[in-house]
Homo-oligomer: A and B are copies of this chain.
Amino acid sequence: MSDVRIHNLAISLDGFATGDGQALDSPFGHAGERLHEWFVSTRFFRAADGLPGGTFGADNAFAERHEPGIGAEIMGAGKFGPPGWHDDPDWKGWWGPTPPFHTPVFVLTHRPRPSIDMEGGTTYHFLDATPNDALEQAREAADGADVRIGGGPTVVRSFLAAGLVDHMHVAQVPIVLGRGVRLWDGLESLEETYDIEAVSTPSGITHLTFTAKNR
């Protein structure tokens, strides 16, 4: 069976994966770009934007694992758009006409709408479904490839709590955000079902990888 993977999920020291006050002009609220500086500095990210250069060390090695072998993504309504996007019939995500997914993307929302075909192979589907049911549909669409849970933290937590995640990569950034949406809430004893590795890199990031036991 294909795997369910999470990559490059950035959190602060105090466990927030996004800041307070998400809005159209601040997708991460008061966190700004601070959770993602390490990521946008990588060769992987810059190349996807058509830019030269970028870091080529351990941060980049982790970043690059985002794409290969992924056949579908599941994301939350809070990642797809800022508060209020449900009321804008023309909202098509943050990522412009050619989103970087290049696969079917399943947006979990209590207010689904018709699917949208984008350029470059991305199709947005909108689902009001349990994590289990959403995963079943995403797996079918992925056609044997893996499914990435793309965030945000609320959706990641719900898939972890349901025991559906095979592999998770979290990048811990040395800042204290103080407020926002926490990743770890409700996940007491997660270490009992995952093997956990930690590695810090010269940029100050600590990469935490979680591999489900007995798989």
Chain A interface residues (CB < 8 Å from chain B): 13-15, 172, 174-179, 182, 184-191, 196-200, 204-206, 208
Contact = CB atoms under 8 A, between A and B. Distances in A.
A204 B211 CA distance: 14
Contacts of A177: 188
Given A14-B184, A176-B190, A191-B175, A199 B196 contact: no
Complex copy number for this chain:
2
Given A178-B186, A197-B204, A200-B200, 16 more contacts: A13-B15, A13-B184, A13-B208, A14-B185, A14-B187, A15-B15, A174-B191, A174-B196, A174-B198, A174-B208, A175-B189, A177-B188, A196-B204, A198-B205, A198-B206, A206-B206
Contacts of A189: 175-176, 178
A206 to B, nearest CB: 5
A3 to B, nearest CB: 21
Nearest to A203: B198
